[in-house]
């Protein structure tokens, strides 16, 4: 069995790159290519541990996109046996969820491996089985006559609940492990059960109702971003129209919506309270009273919009250093503004104590727990 795995070359294709249009959603922004690349790296580790030879279709450290033909050519030139294109899905209707796996319109050979992977993915993601589908996608068209070739869409990043999970490493593990398991099933290779680093746990917490945190009194909020959405409901999906830099509005209330702060304006509309995009005129001390727990928090900091992790690129700018220092104070290590192994270990300990997902990464869940 293992001999068969050694002879099999698998090409992992993480879909898209930073500048692919449209492949992003939400606030904070989820970039599809970033998730695809994280899953690709984990998948490679798992498949190699199972004994397969593995390559990527493109350079995962290059922010620029490689053409669909270039990705396919890399696999063909290397003589790959199986091509796996990793994606998450998008659609205008933000309520849609579910898992689907594609093969090329004319492919017969790829049906079985697609079905094996799709079965495992549906179990791991726990959403609707949308089935094995056929399409004339470029990467499939340019590979299916030379090798087995599939394209996986684990779930829809346009759905806010799915996206919340996609920001967490447990999603990447669930995705990568399911694909690796499906590939092992297809090739009848033993799945490397010893490599599971963290059990995938899907966050099933329902989307919380907005919590009124305080009447901030007639404060004025001013737009810092060049263009910014206002919402007609306390819901990040209820985009209404955009406002421009330096426009100002009267704030009535501060709300917590899906772990992110929002201001209710006197006009009845809503706007983000993220200080990256808006600033309050005059100093208003926000004091949060959560009716569920009765706890009061003196220092609310909005989530900076990106996770803080080892090798965080934001360490280099001043705002990023301030965010990291806040985290360091919360976990009681020297606030030097550098998120290194000591900070990471302290964050892991904090996550363990608080019953959070232990990954050493300060994403929205850990951040909002701290602040
Ligand atoms: Zn995609």
CATH number of 179's domain: 3.40.630.40
Rounded to the nearest 10°, the torsion over CA 331, 332, 338, 342 is: -80
* Residue at 302 is within a domain: no
pLDDT score recorded for residue 258 = 81
pLDDT score recorded for residue 210 = 44
| Among 183, 146, 193, CA closest to 52 | 183
Q: Which own/partner contact pairs does 310-318 have at CB distance under 8 Å and 24+ positions apart?
A: 310/339, 310/340, 310/341, 310/344, 310/360, 312/339, 315/339
3-state secondary structure of 124: helix
- CA 172 to ligand 1 centroid distance, Å: 15
Q: What string of DSSP letters covers 156-204?
A: ETTSHHHHHHHTSHHHHHHHHHHHHHHHHHHHT----GGG--S------
- CA 23 to ligand 1 centroid distance, Å: 7
Same domain? For 117 and 221 the reply is no
* Residue at 349 is within a domain: yes
- CA 78 to ligand 1 centroid distance, Å: 23
pLDDT score recorded for residue 318 = 58
CATH number of the domain where residue 254 is located = 2.30.30.170
- CA 64 to ligand 1 centroid distance, Å: 15
Same domain? For 143 and 92 the reply is yes
- CA 89 to ligand 1 centroid distance, Å: 6
- CA 239 to ligand 1 centroid distance, Å: 23
pLDDT score recorded for residue 264 = 85
What 8-state DSSP symbol labels residue 273? -
pLDDT digits (tens, 9 = 90+) for 232-276: 788 887 777 778 888 888 787 888 888 888 888 877 788 999 888
Q: How many domains does the chain have?
A: 3
Same domain? For 216 and 84 the reply is no
Single out the residue in 166, 195, 224 at which a domain terminates. 195
Single out the residue in 261, 291, 321 at which a domain terminates. 291
- CA 36 to ligand 1 centroid distance, Å: 8
* Residue at 304 is within a domain: no
Residues of the chain with pLDDT under 50: 1-2, 196-215, 283-299
Same domain? For 188 and 261 the reply is no
* Residue at 122 is within a domain: yes
* Residue at 146 is within a domain: yes
- CA 208 to ligand 1 centroid distance, Å: 29
Same domain? For 181 and 36 the reply is yes
Q: Are 261 and 255 in contact, with CB atoms under 8 Å apart?
A: yes
| Among 334, 279, 354, 339, CA closest to 307 | 339
Same domain? For 23 and 107 the reply is yes
Q: Are 104 and 91 in contact, with CB atoms under 8 Å apart?
A: no
* Residue at 51 is within a domain: yes
3-state secondary structure of 365: helix
* Residue at 296 is within a domain: no
Same domain? For 182 and 110 the reply is yes
Same domain? For 171 and 58 the reply is yes
Residues with a beta carbon under 5 angstroms from ion ligand 1 = 15, 87
Same domain? For 179 and 281 the reply is no
Q: Rounded to 5 degrees, what are φ and ψ at 43?
A: -60, -40
Same domain? For 166 and 241 the reply is no
Single out the residue in 149, 169, 195 at which a domain terminates. 195
- CA 30 to ligand 1 centroid distance, Å: 12
Please give the residue range of the domain that contains residue 260.
Answer: 211-291
- CA 14 to ligand 1 centroid distance, Å: 9
Same domain? For 48 and 90 the reply is yes
What 8-state DSSP symbol labels residue 49? H
- CA 87 to ligand 1 centroid distance, Å: 4
Same domain? For 65 and 175 the reply is yes
Q: Rounded to 5 degrees, what are φ and ψ at 185?
A: -60, -45
């Amino acid at each position: 069995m293992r001999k068969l795995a050694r002879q099999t070359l698998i090409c992992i294709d993480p879909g898209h790159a930073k500048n692919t249009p449209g492949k992003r959603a939400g606030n904070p922004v989820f970039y599809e290519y970033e998730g695809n690349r994280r899953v690709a790296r984990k998948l490679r580790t798992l498949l190699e541990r199972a004994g397969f030879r593995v390559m990527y279709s493109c350079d995962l450290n290059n922010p620029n996109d490689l053409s669909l033909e270039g990705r396919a050519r890399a696999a063909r030139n290397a003589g790959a046996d199986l091509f796996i294109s990793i994606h998450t899905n998008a659609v205008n209707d933000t309520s849609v969820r579910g898992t689907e796996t594609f093969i090329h319109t004319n492919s017969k050979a790829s049906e079985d491996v697609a079905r094996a992977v799709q079965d495992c993915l549906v179990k791991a993601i726990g959403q609707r089985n949308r089935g094995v589908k056929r399409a004339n996608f470029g990467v499939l068209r340019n590979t299916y006559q030379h090798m087995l070739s599939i394209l996986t869409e684990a779930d829809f990043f346009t759905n806010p609940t799915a996206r919340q999970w996609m920001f967490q490493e447990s999603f990447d593990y669930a995705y990568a492990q399911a694909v690796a398991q499906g590939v092992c099933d297809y090739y009848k290779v033993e799945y490397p059960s010893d490599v599971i680093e963290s059990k995938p746990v899907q966050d099933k917490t329902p989307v919380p109702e907005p919590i009124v945190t305080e009447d901030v009194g007639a404060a004025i909020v001013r737009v810092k971003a060049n263009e910014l959405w206002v919402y007609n409901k306390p819901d990040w999906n209820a985009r209404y129209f955009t406002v421009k830099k330096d426009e100002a509005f009267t704030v009535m209330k501060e709300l917590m919506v899906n772990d992110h702060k929002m201001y209710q304006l006197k006009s009845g509309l809503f706007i983000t309270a993220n200080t990256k995009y808006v600033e309050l005129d005059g100093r208003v001390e926000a004091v949060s009273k959560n009716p569920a727990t009765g706890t009061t928090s003196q220092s609310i900091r909005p989530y900076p919009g990106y996770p803080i992790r080892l090798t965080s690129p934001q360490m280099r700018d001043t705002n990023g250093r301030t965010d990291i220092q806040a985290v360091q104070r919360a976990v009681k290590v020297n606030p030097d503004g550098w998120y290194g192994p000591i900070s990471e270990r302290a964050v892991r300990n904090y996550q363990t104590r608080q019953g959070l997902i232990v990954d050493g990464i300060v994403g929205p869940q850990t951040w909002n727990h701290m602040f």
